[in-house]
Structure 1
Amino acid sequence: MYRIVLSLITIFSVCFSALAVASSENVELQGYGAFSNLNKDWMLMALYVNKAEETAESATPQRLEIKIAPQRFSQRRFRSLWLNALAIEHGADKMAAMQAELTQFFDIIQEPLEAGDTLIIERTEIGSEVRTEVKINYHTLADLSADFLPLIVQSLVGKHPPTQALKTGLTGEASLREQTNLAIRFDRLEPTLPRIAEISRWGKRILASHL
């Protein structure tokens, strides 16, 4: 019964994501990449962009999906890997300007991440206002400025990416074989039902902290 329910949730979530992408005719998957450090894949990623724009590097990012690869990924290491990538690409001044939102982003990670945990950083529009929404395992945990998603994506595909393989993958320039292998690994990673419920409790704690 557990497996049936989990399968239904997974199917529903995948279909919902597909519908969300399809709802904007100019949004498409650009590529898959693996965020690696010390010969270990920590995060598998899929980048969606506005396909109406001419080149991969200039295309406006619409959504970055991140799936955790190792069995355990501490908050400290998660923060360290991202801060290092961001600092190398953007420099101290831009990092200082985004400090408040970076703190908010990292603070939603309340416990070590686990294999299959799925983070979605997505551009959203409410009326004329553009924002960045952050979800973990289908639960919205943060609402950030429109600049946040481009800042994150630029650290992955800019002049100083964590690895060239990551940049090549996310910009859709890797080989078909490499992209297929990454896509298979990416699709196999999904959160369990208990983990989805646990992240829901994170969201409740975040709401309580703002009261």
Structure 2
Amino acid sequence: MKPIKFVIALMVFATALSAQASPLLNGLALEQQFNKDRYIAAVYSETLANSTEVVLDNNTPRSLEVRIVADSMSARRFRNQWMEGIAINNGGDTLTSQADNMVTFAKLFNGRLKKGDHLTVAFAANTGATTVALNGVTLGKIEDRKFFNTLLRAWVGPVPPSSEFRGGLLAAGNVDSSLLSRYEQLKPSGDRIAQVRAQVESLNAEQEDKTEVAAAKPAPAATKPKPTKPKLTADIPPPTLASIGDKPASAMKKVEAPKPSKPKPSKAALAREMEEDDEDEAPLTADLILARQIYHSSLLRHTFPYIRYPKRAQERGQEGSVRLKVTIDSKGDVTDIQTLQDSRYSSLNRAAVDAVKRAGPYPAAPPQLAKGNFNFTIPITFRLPD
């Protein structure tokens, strides 16, 4: 009887360990644009933590989840915002090595995301694979152990969407009860799940047809190989927070009064504009994605020296995050500045806009991107030393 009891004890112990190893909700964060709620992001991990280093442990199974709050969202806009965060929170070597994976990831996003949708990005520590699913329907898988952290750094890296956003995700399980309740109530309908499944099956069938047609074509005659272009490489120093103290004279351009222009559209109109899909977006390639990431990072690097922490805000202990949408033309001249997310303090909001005005003109766009205007976002964090 004793051996049997010992086996049973081992089984109970293994079951307990398995239960303990289930993913735990580490934190939640609400994303807003133009003061409108967009989605709630979540980080799950076997180990609850309030530090970036622990959450980025590649030996731990983890997952990211996004639940859509807005009635409708452009999947492409959502993806582009995520990729901007990747560009400014990962080193040059990572951006270069992950460019092909970013193409695969980006092509998974089509159409529109609807209220209640669950987007899940799960990392399997035993295989290193990252699986992307929408409402339980698998969209794709990326077999690269380093890819998941490339995505996660966009949320918890040195320049997150906002300091509040990162703080919410790094809550070590201590989440806001009202936000958690709202998060748990967001669920896709049965019809929506069926719609997503049908769309994915249709795309997969279309891809299989293309593969069969390509396989049926006769092999092309041998030709002299074309010289390959050297792959772009990124060399991007990390951006900094808003600075306190004196700046060199070169960084203290006078903020000029804005030129007379036609009345700006309302925030509602701007929100609608943000929801429009970019129908004329160029076909995604690794070089194009990397060019966008490098250029976007260079624009932020160009901006940060011009950010000034208002002295009155320092004296009052005021801190906060501001996120701006900036439009520049092909020469780098600023044509528009809009506030996607503001802080509680008007002085910090003005300081962020003034920094962009001082920073212009920006470096001209590279040839691959020098067609019309270029839009990019700038997250600026005003934080006092501890």
User: More helix per residue: 1 or 2?
Assistant: 1
Residues 73 and 113 in structure 2, CA contact (< 8 A), matched pair in contact too: yes
**1:121 aligned residue:** 121
**Structure with higher RCO (Cα < 8 A, 6+ apart):** 1
The structure-2 alpha-carbon separation of the partners of 1:57 and 1:91, relative to structure 1 and needing over 3 Å to count, comes to: closer
**TM-fit CA distance, 1:35:** 2.5
**2:73 aligned residue:** 73
Residues 74-89 of structure 1 mapped to structure 2, 5 A cutoff = 74-89=74-89
Residues 29-48 of structure 1 mapped to structure 2, 5 A cutoff = 29-48=25-44
Residues 26 and 172 in structure 2, CA contact (< 8 A), matched pair in contact too: no
1-side partners of 2:172 and 2:84: how far apart? 24
* TM-score, L = length of structure 1: 0.77
The structure-2 alpha-carbon separation of the partners of 1:42 and 1:99, relative to structure 1 and needing over 3 Å to count, comes to: farther
2-side partners of 1:124 and 1:173: how far apart? 20
**2:154 aligned residue:** 155
1:139 maps to a residue whose letter is: V
2-side partners of 1:105 and 1:206: how far apart? 15
Residues 50 and 170 in structure 2, CA contact (< 8 A), matched pair in contact too: no
1:98 maps to a residue whose letter is: Q
Residues 76 and 110 in structure 2, CA contact (< 8 A), matched pair in contact too: no
**TM-fit CA distance, 1:92:** 5.1
SS at match of 1:129: coil
Q: CA RMSD in A?
A: 2.4
1-side partners of 2:40 and 2:79: how far apart? 16
- The Cα offsets for residues 166-211 of structure 1, whole Å up to 9 and x where unpaired, read as 100000069x6x6112111111111111110111023213422144
SS at match of 1:168: helix
Residues 156 and 166 in structure 1, CA contact (< 8 A), matched pair in contact too: yes
Residues 49-198 of structure 1 mapped to structure 2, 5 A cutoff = 49-51=45-47, 56-59=51-54, 60=57, 62-91=62-91, 93-124=93-124, 128-144=126-142, 145-172=144-171, 179-198=176-195
The structure-2 alpha-carbon separation of the partners of 1:78 and 1:188, relative to structure 1 and needing over 3 Å to count, comes to: same
1:207 to 193, 204, 208: 204
1-side partners of 2:104 and 2:190: how far apart? 26
2:105 maps to a residue whose letter is: F
Identity %: 25
Listed as ranges, the gaps of 5+ residues in structure 1 are 1-21
The structure-2 alpha-carbon separation of the partners of 1:168 and 1:81, relative to structure 1 and needing over 3 Å to count, comes to: same
The structure-2 alpha-carbon separation of the partners of 1:164 and 1:29, relative to structure 1 and needing over 3 Å to count, comes to: same
After the TM superposition, list the runs of 4 or more consecutive aligned residues in structure 1 that deviate by more than 3 angstroms: none
**TM-fit CA distance, 1:50:** 3.2
Residues 37 and 69 in structure 2, CA contact (< 8 A), matched pair in contact too: yes
**TM-fit CA distance, 1:64:** 0.7
SS at match of 2:181: helix
User: More strand per residue: 1 or 2?
Assistant: 1
* TM-score, L = length of structure 2: 0.44
**1:15 aligned residue:** none
**TM-fit CA distance, 1:24:** 6.0
**TM-fit CA distance, 1:48:** 0.9
**TM-fit CA distance, 1:38:** 3.3
- The Cα offsets for residues 61-115 of structure 1, whole Å up to 9 and x where unpaired, read as 6011111111111133112211221112125553333222222222222211111
Residues 45 and 67 in structure 1, CA contact (< 8 A), matched pair in contact too: yes
**1:3 aligned residue:** none
SS at match of 1:162: coil
Listed as ranges, the gaps of 5+ residues in structure 2 are 1-17, 212-386
2-side partners of 1:131 and 1:68: how far apart? 25
**2:348 aligned residue:** none
